[in-house]
Structure 1
């Protein structure tokens, strides 16, 4: 009879341990899903280069209008942006830096969108060459690169800062507008950053324990 009692006690202890480990694993998974973050989606919504509008018949105005969109798709996480550095290059047949300006840092709430619209002076553009390209029916290629540092606000705390570097090429036609009608997304060559590394490690530990229990 004592053998049965010992067996029942062992089974009860096993069930208790298993329930605890399972609960811990599910809690860890929930925490990881809650803390996981997605970088904001940045895109060019509008471009205007008056000097390339051939109907104006003038290249005297050397500025460019840029409408940038910041889209925070996180459902419950805000984003803090440090000052945002924007760099422009002329890419038709060569690569020439033509402009650089800085946007003021800001906070963006979850599921919020923001626009930053600016005129900025361009220097070094070979305007005769560029105008000839669009006059012949071609497209002038530019590039915009954006660099900043962001951190996420999750409930009452903030994540560590990490660097965000994105960019894209865009084409301008003979009316001085961006050829692509829809927004042009700025992309990064780096993988998406995630906060919540601790829950990920905890999930792995729990999984390892479960493997040992059932081994």
Structure 2
């Protein structure tokens, strides 16, 4: 009996030691995973804004018309978050006839909207320009090959946590200079770069949030 008792005690000691070793290994890993989950839910990547199209018919030399004061636009808002939706308050858009933003020529508001995780919302339309000197703009295009306009965005955004609750509002201001040539339109070839950046950030987030199985 003594021998078998010693064997049982030895077996129990071995199991206890193995359990302690597993705890020493798994507990720090679990803490690291928990910290990563908290960080991913607290820190958010700011959504991006891009001008996909800006067309001013009055500056299109093929139309030979300076009476059309409309500006055609196509704007995009991209959410590069993998798990969070982005909620936009009404977005104020202002167009300026120069990068220094001291003279606005048009403004409009996009109603509140939501961009889901790793998605893009695009808004297109037309707005009438006021106070723009088309003759001076054409002279500048003839001299430099283009005229620089500026598109400004101002709103506030919120994020959610896996669709359950929303964060506080964060101020969101963006702007983009746009070069308009004698076709009246901007040559905007950045969509490939935008989606490359979205894919890159998505891969990083996916790596950090990958579940670890023991």
TM-score, normalization by structure 2: 0.71
Q: Return the alpha-carbon distance in structure 2 between the equivalents of residues 92 and 79 of structure 1.
A: 28
Report matched runs for 1:151-162 at 5 Å: 151-155=158-162, 156-162=164-170
Greater Cα radius of gyration, structure 1 or 2: 2
- Unpaired runs of 5+ in structure 1? 1-11, 186-215
Alignment match, 1:111: 118
User: More strand per residue: 1 or 2?
Assistant: 1
Deviation of residue 179 (structure 1)? 3.2
Name which of 68, 72, 75 aligns with 2:79: 72
Does 2:97 match 1:90?
A: yes
| Shift in alpha-carbon separation, 1:92–1:75, aligned structure 2, 3 A | closer
Q: Which has the higher contact order (CA 8 A, sep 6+)?
A: 1
More helix by share: 2
Q: Which runs of 5+ in 2 are unaligned?
A: 1-16, 195-214
Partner of 1:169: 177
SS in structure 1 opposite 2:59? strand
Greater CA drift, 144-153 or 88-97: 88-97
Question: Residues 128 and 94 from structure 1, CA distance in 2 versus in 1: closer, same or farther, beyond 3 angstroms?
Answer: farther
CA distance in 2, matches of 1:80, 1:92: 28
Contact 1:92 1:140 in 2 (8 A): no
Give the CA RMSD over aligned residues. 2.7
Deviates more, 1:124-133 or 1:33-42: 33-42
**Is 1:47–1:67's contact at 8 Å kept on the other side of the alignment?**
yes
Find the counterpart in structure 1 of residue 69 from structure 2. Answer: 62
Give how far 1:28 is off: 2.2
Partner of 1:30: 37
Query: Is this contact kept in 1: 2:55–2:185, CA < 8 A?
Result: yes
1:59-114 deviation per Cα after TM superposition (whole angstroms, max 9, x unaligned): 10011111001111111110111000001111179842111110011112111111
- Give the number of equivalent residue pairs: 174
